[in-house]
Amino acid sequence: MEHQHHDTAPVTLGSALGRGLRGRCPNCGRGRLFLSYLKQADRCGACGEGFDHIHPDDAAPWFTMLIVGLSLIPVMIVAQGTLHAHFLWTILFLSVFILAVSLVSLPLVKGALLAAFWFYTSRSATGR
Ligand SMILES: [Zn+2]
């Protein structure tokens, strides 16, 4: 059985989002979407697909704040109820939690957003 090449397989929103989450080109899944932690590449190094027209602006931090805020509620309740620590230790624990979730979520969210923006703009524009 022959595997279908990445370039010929039709890109669905799901596959584009999955590639974006992994920081890969939503079109081919091979090239990198980011030059560094959050700096988006102008184009894919593997297939040449351009990303320089996609500007998610504040969307990634906004969704990240939403994720952090919603995940913080149960963690705060559990931390307050089980740790029985001095409130300064609780604040320190929660601060580290907020920082960790933010730093892990931000590139994932930005990658998924870039992939979604790419899917609804570039794809329809070129008729693929
Ligand atoms: Zn590519």
* pLDDT, tens digit, 9 for 90 and up, residues 43-53: 999 999 999 99
Give the model's confidence band at 78: pLDDT under 50 very low, under 70 low, under 90 confident, else very high.
confident
- Spatial CB neighbours of 6, under 8 Å, sequence gap ≥ 6: 28, 29, 30
The answer to whether position 106 is within a domain reads yes
Q: Three-class SS of residue 86? A: coil
Residue 96 Cα to ligand 1 middle (Å): 35
* C-alpha of residue 46 to centroid of ligand 1, in Å: 5
Query: 83 in a domain, yes or no?
Result: yes
CA distance 71 to 97: 10
User: 109 lies in a domain?
Assistant: yes
Maximum separation of any 2 CA atoms in the chain, in Å: 62
Whether residue 3 is contained in a domain is answered as: no
Determine the distance separating the centroid of ligand 1 and the alpha carbon of 30, expressed in angstroms.
6
Query: How close is the Cα of 120 to the center of ligand 1, in Å?
Result: 16
- Residue 83 is predicted with a pLDDT of 76
Q: How far is the CA of 29 from the centre of ligand 1 (A)?
A: 6
Orientation angle between helical segments 59-82 and 87-126, nearest 10 degrees:
150
Let me know if residue 25 belongs to a domain: yes
pTM of the predicted protein model: 0.82
pLDDT digits (tens, 9 = 90+) for 9-61: 689 999 999 999 999 999 999 999 999 999 999 999 999 999 999 998 899 99
**Structural domain for 104, as ranges:** 13-126
Domain assignment present for 2: no
Question: What is the number of domains present in the chain?
Answer: 1
Does residue 5 fall inside a structural domain? no
